[in-house]
Amino acid sequence: MNSTIAVITFRAMLGRRRALLLLALPLMLVVMAVALRITGNDDLDVSANVLQRFGLATLLPLLALIAGTGVIGPEIDDGQIMYVLTKPIPRPVIVLTKLAVAIVLVWAFAAVPTLLSGMILSAGGTEGMGPAFTVGVLVGGVAYSAVFVALAVVSRNAVTIGLLYALVWETLLGNFAPGAKSASIQQWALSVTDTLTGATAVKSTVDLAVAVPLLVAVTVAGTLLAAVRLRSLSVASAE
């Protein structure tokens, strides 16, 4: 970890308009929770649905995409990464620092609002559902961030590819093909949540014994890939 890189990355992420982008979605989740609470529509099923569909399946991947690609993608595109790469710093340190910043951002902008919404929805307190979803978002956030950081190092089209994965693969295809559904970070994170809550509305297709190793594997693989590819990052602007 390198604190200088972390500080610059945080400033780049939070200083621009991107910060508003990061705030918009979590705000919507919290506002929705408040609205449901006021209108008295927050029974167990609705609460589980909101936390799962909006929190875990939408807010989490989108924020991880913004944060994961944002911590390193624009820097590679604009060439500022040169100022970091022309220093005697091992490449894995750079990748781990960028990843840590992305994870902190995802936790702050996805996990905290999820916890908050769980507390606002009165049924969120029952069956430990609020905290369970929060933990699911926390672990899912780590895996998503690792994948999207790696994607940003590997491809200039990281955001597009990430969106296709999150929207088409995880959400759309998951509805039709059960196999695709199980092979998604979303389901693995949901599996963690499922284990922590007794609510029957929360149902994962993947066993915890399978989900946890897969989450770890994806995180490690993403981090390694990013470090290796950053090591031989050549400058596209050369020509």
Partner 1 sequence: MSQLVLENVSRWYGNVVAVNGISMTIGPGVTGLLGPNGAGKSTLIHMMGGFLPPSSGTVALDGAPVWRNPDVYRSLGLVPERESAYDFLTGRQFILAMAKLHKLAEPGAAAQHAIDRVEMEYAADRQIGNYSKGMKQRIKMASALVHDPPVLLLDEPFNGMDPRQRLQLMDLIQRMAAEGRTILFSSHILEEVERLASHIEVVVAGRHAASGDFRKIRRLMTDRPHLFLVRSGDDRRLAAAIIADGSARSVQLTDKGLQVEAVDFQRFTWLLPQVARDADVRLWEVSPSDESLESVFSYLVAR
Query: CA–CA separation, 34 vs 80, rounded Å?
Result: 42
Q: Which of 39, 88, 176, 209 binds partner 1 (CB under 8 A)?
A: 88
Q: Using the minimum distance from each CB to partner 1, give the nearer residue, 40 or 88.
A: 88
x-marked contacts with partner 1 along 4-43 as a string, rule CB under 8 A? xx-xx--xx--xx---------------------------
Q: Give 198's DSSP letter.
A: -
Shortest Cβ 26–partner 1 spacing (Å): 23
Based on CB atoms, which residue is closest to partner 1, 19 or 38? Answer: 19
**DSSP letter, residue 108:** I
Query: Three-state SS string across 35-72, please?
Result: HHHHHCCCCHHHHHHHHHHHHHHHHHHHHHHHHHHHCC
Minimal distance, residue 97 CB to partner 1, in Å: 11
CA distances from 152 to 48, 122, 157 (A): 32, 39, 8
Exactly one of 27, 41, 78, 207 binds partner 1 (CB under 8 A); that residue is 78
Report the distance separating Cα 122 and Cα 135, nearest Å.
19
CA distance 1 to 178: 39
Cβ nearer to partner 1, comparing 45 with 78: 78
CA–CA distance, 13 with 214 (Å, rounded to integer) = 29
Residue 58 beta carbon to partner 1: minimum distance, rounded to whole angstroms:
30
Q: Which stretch binds partner 1 (CB under 8 A): 78-86, 99-107, 109-117, 210-218?
A: 78-86
Q: Is 208 in the site for partner 1 (CB under 8 A)?
A: no
The CB density around residue 50, as the number of other CB atoms within 10 Å, is 22
Residue 84 interacting with partner 1 (CB under 8 A): yes
Q: Given CA atoms 105, 110, 113, 116 in this order, what sign does their dihedral have?
A: negative
| Interacting residue with partner 1 among 17, 20, 40, 232 (CB under 8 A) | 232
| Residue 156 binds partner 1, judged by CB under 8 A | no
Residue number, 49 or 80, with CB nearest to partner 1: 80
Closest by alpha carbon to 72, among 148, 163, 167, 136?
A: 148
Q: How many residues bind partner 1 (CB under 8 A)?
A: 30
Binding residues (CB under 8 A) for partner 1: these are 2, 4-5, 7-8, 11-12, 15-16, 78-80, 82-91, 231-235, 237-239
